[in-house]
Amino acid sequence: MLILGIESSCDETAAALVRDGAEVLSSVVHTQIALHAPHGGVVPEIASRSHIEKIPAVVRKAVEDAGVGWDAIDAVAATYGPGLASSLLVGLHAGKGLAVALGKPFIGINHVEAHIQSAFLSPGSPAKEDCLPLLALVVSGGHSAIVRIGADGHPHILGQTLDDAAGEAFDKASKLLGLGYPGGPAIQKAASQAKNGGAGIRFPQGRISDDNPAIGNLRADLCFSFSGLKTSLRNYLQKHPVQNEDDRCEIAAAYQDAIVDALASRCERALRQGRYKGFAVGGGVSLNAALRARLKEVAVRAGVPLFLPEPKYCGDNAAMIAALAGRGAGVRGDAAFALDASPSLTFE
């Protein structure tokens, strides 16, 4: 089963060909970072216009790189949510159009579920199906969620951010610190140069009360809140303006530590509360070296194998979309062709 996957939910235009949900024949990602950097964040209209411009060449290159003809493609899959509506619509409708033209089925894919699949794309990785029940942490610019994939393969969100996503917390802090966009890599670099590792600076974690209406059916002790962290950074900077590069690096290290600690402590708690055969991580923030190191420790203490994506599959890509479709997930049949973009798509 050879699937052409398409991804356009935010600011990456991507296409990939994946065989049997595991073997990546090609993966092409065109990032729009240079277009959005001057604005300090993703501008939806700039994003959707760029997707429209780039998607034909990106898809064509994915087919060429795979070294197969269009006839070899058995199905077309595309992200239909969550993400930016105007960005999602481009890839979703390009995918439907291609499926019609090729006379093949179309499959609609949930982007967050696909990020989890990215941890199983490395050659030699076991199949996700052999690691169920699986605990997964998805952390990107748009999402921060702890997901349980049950023995039946069905994903269920245990906890998520009640405000900003972890990547957003990095991006906003980077702006406050004058470190540029995207914030994650910039903060990681500054933090790595902190001589004292941020010792002596503490940013408190957001407290989440059980009666917060945003929690709904989720577990309060597995939810996150990052907007308070950003406010405490702003307050800190007002009281202690950055005097030199050393200051900036120490603050970046303390701030990174607070995010890593919030994420790792919730994962450790979730692993203690359930029985899992594996622990997977995905999303752009999973590139963060400090987070990767902490999660390795968490997995060792919990006695579960950790699955981290290769760097090229941490951020948005289409290999994860085609792979998930190739494992039988997603909306199929006539319902797939009727799909609209679903910006707030969740699992239930």
Q: What residue ranges bind ligand KG4 (CB under 6 A)?
A: 10, 140-142, 167, 170-171, 182-185, 188, 283-285, 287-288, 315-316
* HEC profile of the chain: CEEEEEECCCCEEEEEEEECCCEEEEEEEEECHHHHHHHCCCCHHHHHHHHHHHHHHHHHHHHHHHCCCHHHCCEEEEEEECCCHHHHHHHHHHHHHHHHHHCCCEEEEEHHHHHHHHHHCCCCCCCHHHHCCEEEEEECCCCEEEEEECCCCCEEEEEEECCCCHHHHHHHHHHHCCCCCCHHHHHHHHHHCCCCCCCCCCCCCCCCCCCCHHHCCCCHHHCECCHHHHHHHHHHHHHCCCCCHHHHHHHHHHHHHHHHHHHHHHHHHHHHHCCCCEEEEECHHHHCHHHHHHHHHHHHHHCCCEECCCHHHCCCCCHHHHHHHHCCCCECHHHHHCCCCCCCCCCC
User: Least distance (Å) from ligand KG4 to the CB of residue 118?
Assistant: 9
| 287: partner contacted, choices Zn ion, ligand KG4, none (Cβ within 5-8 A by kind) | ligand KG4
User: Least distance (Å) from ligand KG4 to the CB of residue 345?
Assistant: 13
Q: Does 256 bind Zn ion (CB under 5 A)?
A: no
Interactions with Zn ion, residue window 137-166 (CB under 5 A): 140
User: Least distance (Å) from ligand KG4 to the CB of residue 140?
Assistant: 3
| 330: partner contacted, choices Zn ion, ligand KG4, none (Cβ within 5-8 A by kind) | none
Report the residue number, 19 or 32, with the smaller CB distance to ligand KG4.
Answer: 32
Interactions with Zn ion, residue window 309-338 (CB under 5 A): 316
User: Least distance (Å) from ligand KG4 to the CB of residue 69?
Assistant: 31
Report the residue number, 30 or 219, with the smaller CB distance to ligand KG4.
Answer: 30
Report the residue number, 26 or 32, with the smaller CB distance to ligand KG4.
Answer: 32
User: Least distance (Å) from ligand KG4 to the CB of residue 343?
Assistant: 13
| 82: partner contacted, choices Zn ion, ligand KG4, none (Cβ within 5-8 A by kind) | none
The residue ranges that bind Zn ion (CB under 5 A) are: 140, 316
